[in-house]
Structure 1
């Protein structure tokens, strides 16, 4: 899909950028929407190195970076 981004199973054109929304398990992105990523939470939140990346609590954090 040259010139588009695949998000949530739907193709979004570069000329129509997706809306960034706050997502959770009850609110998933719809058509032309993507979930906001809070980068600060990756450094200071439960997924931080100081918190053993969530392993100690039994809920390990996984971050996957996709390049387009």
Structure 2
């Protein structure tokens, strides 16, 4: 799976190889969990993504 160039995720710094651990403080193990949480977020809010990048914990805020 990749990161679509120009997408909100790409503009926020999400990179190929990042392992998403949690979204909005909810642990995720599957892409459908990620999609459900993000799609359930109110419009025009920021979603906090906790990820691991090359073994290092990292946080991203997606608009």
Question: Which TM-score bucket, shorter chain as reference?
Answer: under 0.3
Q: Point out the structure with max Rg over C-alpha.
A: 1
TM-score, normalising length: structure 1: 0.23
Would you tell me which structure has more helix in proportion to its own residues? 2
Would you tell me which structure has more strand in proportion to its own residues? 2
Which structure has the higher relative contact order (CA within 8 Å, separation 6+)? Answer: 2
TM-score, normalising length: structure 2: 0.24
